[in-house]
Every structure is written in C-alpha cells, then in structure tokens.
Amino acid sequence: MNRRTAALSAALALAVLLCAGFLLWRQSHAQPGTTAQIYQFGELVEEIPLDQVTESYTIPLEGEDGAENVIEVAPGRIRVRRANCPDQVCVRQGWISDSSVPVVCLPHQVVIQITGGEGDVDAAAG
Amino acid sequence: MRQHALPAIALAAALLLGGCARTQEPASNQIFAMDTVMTLEIYGDGAQEQLNEAVGTIYRLEDLWDVTSEGSEVWALDHSAGDWVDLSPETADLLAQALELCALTGGALDLTAYPAVRAWGFTTGEYRVPSQEELDALVPLIDYTKLELEDGRARLPEGMELDLGAVAKGYTGAYLAQTLREGGVASALLSLGGNVQTVGAKPDGSPWRVAIQDPDSGQQATLGVVEVADQAVITSGGYQRYFEADGETYWHIMDPDTAAPARSGLRSVTVIGSDGTVCDALSTALFVMGAEEAAAFWQVHPELEVELVLVEEDGTVLITQGLEDSFQLTQEDRTLEVIAP
C-alpha cells in the first residue's frame, strides 16, 4: 500500500466512522419519549415534550372570529379542555397520550398530534 | 489481499453515506379538505413540487364532489330534476368504479343513501331519530341502480340524492398515489382523515407502520398495527361519527335496506389493499354486511386482493389470513381469530 492509498483509506475510514456515528446518534435521539405537536390552520404553533412536563398547564389558542380552544398539557398527556366550536368533538375526545389518534377540531382547524414514544407508528387508520 | 481493502472500505462508505442521505425529512403539509384533516408526506427529489401539485388536486376533487356546495358536480346531479349532467373525467371514473362496487356488494354499498344520512342529521350535526314512517318513505329513494352513467354524463331520478362520501377519500388517495408514482416518487404517506394511502415503502426500505384505531369509544388507543407498502389502509367504524339519544347510539353508516344506522354486530371494518377506492367502498359495505357475510364475501373475491380486520361488538378481532404476519395486536386482552381463504 503506497502513501496515497493509505491516505485515501484513512479518509474513507474517517467518513465511515463519522457516518456510523451520525446514524447511532440519530437512533439514540430518535426516541426521546413523546412529543405533542399543536397545529393551527396547518401550521405548527407549539411543540411540547410531554415526558418533560411536570405540572399541568393550559394553552389558550385563539383562531378566527372569536374561535378558541383551551388546550391542557399534563405529564405524558394532552387534551382540549374546552372550546367554543359547535360540535365539541375535540373536547369529547379527551386525553391522548400516544401517537395512535390525533385530536382534531375541524371547525377551528386545530390538530394535536403526538409523535415518538413506544410503538411509534407512521399513520393511523380510523 | 491488502489492495482489496480500499474498494471494500469505499463500498462500506458509499452504503453508509447512502444510509445517511436517506434519513432526509419529507416535504409535508397538513390541510383541511373533504370535511377532514389530511397529512401528506412525500420523500425524495422534487418532493415539494409533487406536494404542491397533490394539494391542488385534493382541492380540485373536493370542489367536484362536495355534496353541500352548489358548484359541485355531485350537487348538480342531486338538483338536476332527472336531467343529464355532464361530468369531469374524474367524476365519471369514480362513479363508474363506485357503481361496480355497489353491484359487487349486492347494494350493501349504495351511493344514493344520502337522504337517510341527512334525515338522521349527520349532514348538519343537528341529530335526530326519524320516525318509522319517515324511514319507510326514504327506503325506496335508496337505489343505486337508478343512477344512469354513460359517455361522461349521468342522471338521477328527481327526489333521489347521491353522495360520494363512502368512496371519495379512498379514490383521492389512489389517484394521488398513481400521480406520485408516475412522477417518480418512490416513497410517500398520505393520511386523508384516517384513510391511509402509502406509496412504496419508507425511504429506508422498511414497511410503513399504520395503527388501526380501537373502536371501543372509551379508549383513545391503538387496536393493532399493520405493516404495509404501496397499499391503502381504510377503516369504517360506528365510533367515527355518532350521537346518543335515549340510551341508544346511532352512527353515520346507513343500512340501505332500512335507511337507519347499520347494526350488523361489527364495531369497525378495516380494509387493506392496493386499490384505495376498493378499500374505501368495502370498508362501508362490509360494515353493513356483518362479520359472517363479510368473511364469505372476502372468501369468494380473492381477485380484489384485499385483507380485512373486523372488530365485533364484544371486542373479538377477526383478521384474514394474509395479515397473519403483518398485523400485530396491541390490545392483548382481545381474542384474535383468523379467517382462512
């Protein structure tokens, strides 16, 4: 092996190590527990690591024409505590704590979704 | 032997770098259309462009099929007093496919059940329980065979109304998936309000994991997870839209024979297959049929290439044999039975 190949080998080995390191880092950081994402009009407005919540609190979310959803965040779970939407579907749904079903308030275009955690899935049918 | 080390390292590096590159984020969007929330995730080169096009397609199809909007083709059909209505190619295509599925399911799926859906208040949210006389009067209005379709136009007898709600999202998913594949997209996840359509597998080559919701309305939980690639996963259930009156629960899936919510002993039906329109239509039709008839239907129609997850009122879960390896029950206290071909 001449010096040139040795240098190339070293460079490639370094690339391999870096890449492997990155992949391992990603894997170890991909499952940080559950995170709740709150969307309004299709835009992400709040992201909450639910496993780091120690005390319950509420987030008032104001929409158009006086629309309001009061979201309650608690350790490991989240819900719409009250809303002035006509159908109250989001309120009736209650707490969610895993990625299986998002809370959706269609009239106010609010979605609360959980990602990460055990048994993480890509989508939910239902 | 030494000189072999370099190509080997280069290969390993290329594979690993490829692996890194494939962990890219998808182009994604969340939109409100067709009376539900939709999430689209598209991977690969040109994904953003494909995403924008897909969103445009969804709004265009929604405008064609919104039963409550005066500009839609469905509204025109419902208000044409028996006259012919010209249709866009997409509406004609969807109607043709849907009518075939109505016939195949012996009318368990019926596109003209809309008057019943409205009588129970599901179109406005002002729920009510109609009288038996009212229902008896509605039954003759529910008959998909009266819908005529020919050469890009259709007509419906006056007084009858059709709605594409039982097939529109499944068709839209299939339509988008086809467009994406033609546009060179190898990996995409389209969640159209709980109707899941996948294109290819995940970017890393593993199958998509799709949760099936537990129809027990007291739980916001996953019943099980199914792994799919290039397929649709579509559920119809009595828990999705319902109201309670006098201790009874009434849901939005109507039995065309009674103009009342279908009570077949099933809580939900999930259909998994390569054609989203078929899956969507069958999820409704098999819910109306009940477990026994649904299993028999599946056994005599292997050409449809679908698999089923049926949940009975007592919580028993029935899966068809093709799902034995790809379906995993998460509610482990449930009885799981397999339907053989």
A62 touches chain B (CB under 8 A): no
pTM of the complete model: 0.83
Given a cut of 60, is residue B1 above it in pLDDT?
no
- Which residue from A minimizes the CA distance to B268? A126
Flag if B220 and A23 touch (Cβ within 8 Å): no
pLDDT tier at B22, thresholds 50, 70, 90: very low
Q: CA of B149, closest CA in chain A: separation in Å?
A: 31
Token code pair at residue B4: 């072999």
Report the 3 state secondary structure along chain B: CHHHHHHHHHHHHHHHHHHHHCCCCCEEEEEEECCEEEEEEECCCCHHHHHHHHHHHHHHHHHHHCCCCCCCHHHHHHCCCCCCEECCHHHHHHHHHHHHHHHHCCCCCCCCCHHHHHHCCCCCCCCCCCCHHHHHHHHHHCCHHHCEEECCEEECCCCCCCCCCCCHHHHHHHHHHHHHHHCCCCCEEEEECCEEEEECCCCCCCCEEEEEECCCCCCCCEEEEEEECCCEEEEEECCCCEEEECCEEEECCEECCCCEECCCCEEEEEEEECCHHHHHHHHHHHHHHCHHHHHHHHHHCHHHCEEEEEEECCCCEEEEHHHCCCEEECCCCCCEEEECC
Is A31-115 a domain of CATH 2.60.320.10? yes
pLDDT at A13: 76
pLDDT at A115: 85
B63-155: CATH superfamily: ApbE-like superfamily (1.10.3980.10)
| Rounded distance between C-alpha atoms, residue B322 and residue B341, angstroms | 9
Given a cut of 70, is residue B151 above it in pLDDT?
yes
Nearest to A123 among B208, B220, B330 (CB): B208
Nearest to A119 among B2, B31, B330 (CB): B330
Nearest to B223 by CA among B338, B332, B308: B332
pLDDT at A118: 67
Nearest to A16 among B2, B13, B191 (CB): B13
pLDDT at A48: 95
Are A82 and A61 in contact by the 8 Å Cβ rule? The answer is no
- Which residue from A minimizes the CA distance to B40? A123
> Per-residue pLDDT averaged across B232-239, rounded?
94
Contacts of A95 in chain B (CB under 8 A): 220
A10 touches chain B (CB under 8 A): no
> Per-residue pLDDT averaged across B269-288, rounded?
98
Listed in sequence order, the residues at least 6 apart from B126 whose beta carbon sits closer than 8 Å to its beta carbon are none
Nearest to B92 by CA among B180, B164, B157: B164
B202 touches chain A (CB under 8 A): yes
The average confidence (pLDDT) of chain A is 84
Token code pair at residue B57: 């397609």
> Per-residue pLDDT averaged across A2-26, rounded?
69
pLDDT at A24: 55
> Per-residue pLDDT averaged across A66-78, rounded?
94
Are B340 and B330 in contact by the 8 Å Cβ rule? The answer is no
Which of A50 and A16 is assigned the larger pLDDT? A50
The order of strands in the sheet holding B327-329 is: A123-125, B208-213, B222-228, B327-329
Contacts of A15 in chain B (CB under 8 A): 13, 16-17
> Per-residue pLDDT averaged across B261-282, rounded?
97
Token code pair at residue B213: 């919701």
Residues 19-58 of A with CB under 8 A from B: 19-20, 22-23, 26, 39, 42
B187 touches chain A (CB under 8 A): no
Q: CA of A33, closest CA in chain B: separation in Å?
A: 17
pLDDT at A86: 87
Are A82 and A88 in contact by the 8 Å Cβ rule? The answer is no
Residues 113-172 of B with CB under 8 A from A: 125
Contacts of B235 in chain A (CB under 8 A): 125-126
Q: pLDDT tens across B81-115, in order?
A: 999 999 999 999 999 999 999 999 999 999 999 99
pLDDT at B309: 98
Give the burial class of B307: count Cβ atoms within 10 A of its Cβ; 0-12 exposed, 13-18 middle, 19 or more buried: buried
pLDDT at B310: 98
Least confident residue range of A31-45, B24-38, B237-251:
A31-45
Flag if A12 and B210 touch (Cβ within 8 Å): no
A18 touches chain B (CB under 8 A): no
Contacts of A124 in chain B (CB under 8 A): 191, 194, 196, 210-213, 222
How much of chain A exceeds pLDDT 90, in percent? 44
pLDDT at B274: 97
Given a cut of 80, is residue A113 above it in pLDDT?
yes
> Per-residue pLDDT averaged across B275-297, rounded?
98
pLDDT at B210: 96
Flag if B29 and A42 touch (Cβ within 8 Å): yes
pLDDT tier at A22, thresholds 50, 70, 90: low
| Rounded distance between C-alpha atoms, residue B64 and residue B189, angstroms | 24
Flag if B220 and A95 touch (Cβ within 8 Å): yes
Residues 224-253 of B with CB under 8 A from A: 225, 233-235, 237, 240
- Which residue from A minimizes the CA distance to B29? A42
Q: pLDDT tens across B116-131, in order?
A: 999 999 998 899 999 9
Nearest to B9 among A9, A93, A126 (CB): A9
Other Cβ atoms less than 10 A from the Cβ of B112: the count is: 23
How much of chain B exceeds pLDDT 90, in percent? 85
pLDDT tier at B77, thresholds 50, 70, 90: very high
Q: pLDDT tens across B153-188, in order?
A: 999 999 999 999 999 999 999 999 999 999 999 999
Listed by start position, the domains of chain A span: 31-115
Given a cut of 90, is residue B12 above it in pLDDT?
no
> Per-residue pLDDT averaged across A104-115, rounded?
92
Are B265 and B287 in contact by the 8 Å Cβ rule? The answer is no
E strand or H helix that includes residue A22: helix A3-30
Flag if A16 and B12 touch (Cβ within 8 Å): yes
pLDDT tier at B331, thresholds 50, 70, 90: confident
Given a cut of 60, is residue A29 above it in pLDDT?
no
Q: pLDDT tens across B193-203, in order?
A: 889 999 999 99
Q: pLDDT tens across B59-71, in order?
A: 999 999 999 999 9
Listed by start position, the domains of chain B span: 2-19+26-46+169-339, 63-155
Listed in sequence order, the residues at least 6 apart from B108 whose beta carbon sits closer than 8 Å to its beta carbon are B256, B284, B285, B286, B288, B289
pLDDT at A20: 67
> Per-residue pLDDT averaged across A56-73, rounded?
94
The average confidence (pLDDT) of chain B is 92
Least confident residue range of A96-100, B53-57, B132-136, B293-297:
A96-100
Given a cut of 60, is residue A30 above it in pLDDT?
no
* The CATH number of the domain covering residues in B2-19+26-46+169-339: 3.10.520.10
